[in-house]
A and B are shown apart, each in its own frame.
Chain A
């Protein structure tokens, strides 16, 4: 278990997509090891608990494992789900390798997070609906401990701007762009990773870098 302090706190969505494309190394290099992960996002101590009590990443793993053996799905879907489950389960190896550290909230942080997940409390942050628990924990921990917040949830970013307008944050596309700018990967690789994330459900429709013009285009 890492004893170092993290520079960042990462939410489920960002961690999920880098795990799914097999490039958590980029995340770790750009944000610095260890990554801070709220216990709601991943809890290495949770054991085999019912779905209702799982952390967000293990709930995703559990869902993909069910799809992988669901006879109502075709073999392509089953195979995809099996691969996703294996990729997401890689979070446990990251923890064992001290690449991430689990963060528990203080009372002050819990107070902020509880407002963000409350149907009435979230309105004070300009939100119509509550944040997911993982995103709320990230915002609460990040703003209280002055850590970079890595999230791609527009509502979480809106809440972050309300609490601390100049607080540093990272989004997936920006991380991919920085990876290419410091030559960890090429611009083509960055676009390909982004496209692969889109194929896996990522909602951002803008590529990190403009696609090269093909012959015949002005």
Chain B
């Protein structure tokens, strides 16, 4: 089959529209159309980019080789979705599955233990899918992790502690149509979570907790895709995530300590609680309403304020990503921490060359070089960290057992 036909077929099967592909490559839609009609031919650079974007080997695009028959886990994932998904979501789901396969191959070659969770340590059974069940399960997991009633720290670290792999991809910003996250029990990596990068930091965190609920309590399903629709398991995962990140008793305690309440009266109080528990403003509002710390009237009036502006006026640090999301700026950070360690190790042990590592991750040679060679030793000039250490040393606190 000629290149033109192969391109059209690969584009359609990987979920790209002509517009999307044109945008991803920085060419016009007409150019993509010319390629597919055989009137023009992509150059070598564009062909390499097409191969990566469409996840089709160059040989397949050129008609030199047959597409390898592989288990189509990506399609299985898509059947798990209960509505038609946009092209960027289809592409991101495909990336997720391809990444997990690569991770497993590389770990095997480098003799690196992924330590992925393949069986949940928590018991769940059919029929336990109410919001109350979810909240009890969240308490159980928090207790297992010794979190007490406080805020949960870095969710990536929590997942890594549990042996759950977390990967991020741009799945599109229209959350009424696209996927916020997905769970897959990968045969070689174990429980794996995908998070949509095109969401606010608070929403990404909630999605991670939501997918963690699927991993820990719904792993009898090999794959689950979370969209705006809410069947019982999705409602369970939402309730779990809310309680896990912002436990009712923990909220009550912080409110007492801060002198709020018994009911929340001001949006500034919501902001303080939101920032303390590191959730989105809307999640905080919903949790406070669910726990009846907020009346319906206050909920209705608070939901229309601009939380980032209010938080800034209260002196909170606001990250760039709270204003707008830039999925394209994510490089190595898209990948799980454990995979990054594997990549570094594989290059240092000559299992993988720097250019090959760049090709596998679709990153620049410079970014891989930085990962592999960054000198973590402090520079001789006084740094803030060294000054802090000197203060500790001067206080004599290091000698106290």
Contacts and interface: CB of A to CB of B under 8 A. Distances in A.
A117 B353 contact: no
Interface stretch (B22-30, B221-229, B292-300): B22-30
A117 B109 CA distance: 17
Contacts of B312: none
A203 B366 contact: no
Interface in B60-99: 62, 64-65, 68
A129 B58 contact: no
Q: What are the 7 A-B residue pairs with the smallest beta carbon separation, nearest first?
A: A49-B26, A132-B355, A201-B369, A114-B59, A114-B58, A59-B364, A60-B366
Given A39-B44, A66-B329, A155-B353, A53 B372 contact: no
A111 B57 CA distance: 11
B264 interface: no
Contacts of B141: none
Interface string A161-194: 0000000000000000000000000000000000
B44 A117 contact: no
Contact of B352 (A47, A129, A201): A129
B62 A114 contact: yes
Given A40-B45, A153-B355, A201-B369, A50 B109 contact: no
8 contacts: A13-B355, A53-B27, A60-B364, A66-B329, A113-B58, A117-B51, A132-B356, A156-B353
Nearest to A71: B320
Contact of A111 (B51, B64, B352, B363): B64
Contacts of A203: 354, 372
B309 interface: no
Contacts of A155: 353, 355-356
A62 B45 contact: no
Contacts of B52: 52
Nearest to B106: A129
A119 to B, nearest CB: 8
A16 interface: yes
Contacts, number: 152
Contact of B356 (A38, A49, A118, A129): A129
A77 to B, nearest CB: 9
Nearest to A51: B328
Interface in B367-382: 367, 369-370, 372-373, 379
Contact of B59 (A55, A104, A115, A154): A115
A137 B44 contact: yes
A155 B25 CA distance: 28
A135 B340 CA distance: 23
Contacts of B359: 117, 130-133
Interface string A53-81: 11110011011101100000010100000
A143 interface: no
Interface residues of B, number: 50
A111 B44 CA distance: 12
B310 interface: no
Interface in B18-66: 23-27, 43-49, 51-53, 57-59, 62, 64-65
Contacts of A132: 353, 355-356, 358-359, 365
Interface string B323-337: 000001101000000
Given A40-B48, A105-B44, A111-B62, A50 B26 contact: yes
B360 interface: yes
How many chain A residues sit at the interface, stated as a range, is: 35 or more
B362 interface: yes
B154 interface: no
Q: What DSSP secondary structure best describes chain B's contact surface?
A: helix
Contacts of A120: 68
A114 B49 contact: no
A131 B355 contact: yes
Nearest to A121: B59
Contacts of B329: 66
A184 B105 CA distance: 45
Contacts of B354: 13, 153, 201, 203
Contacts of B379: 76
A198 B351 CA distance: 20
A63 B68 contact: no
Given A62-B364, A115-B59, A43 B43 contact: yes
Contacts of B360: 129-130
Nearest to A127: B356
A154 to B, nearest CB: 6
A203 B344 CA distance: 13
Contacts of A43: 43, 45
Contacts of A133: 48, 359
Q: Which one of A13, A38, A51 has the highest number of Cβ atoms from chain B below 10 Å of its Cβ?
A: A51
Contacts of B358: 56, 132
B350 interface: yes
B195 to A, nearest CB: 20
A47 B26 contact: yes
A115 B64 CA distance: 9
Contacts of A67: 370
Contacts of A16: 365-366
Given A104-B44, A111-B62, A134-B355, A129 B366 contact: no
Contacts of A137: 44
Given A39-B44, A128-B351, A201 B372 contact: yes
Contacts of B362: 52
B178 to A, nearest CB: 19
A84 interface: yes
B131 to A, nearest CB: 38
Contact of A104 (B27, B43, B331): B43
Interface string A199-213: 011010000000000
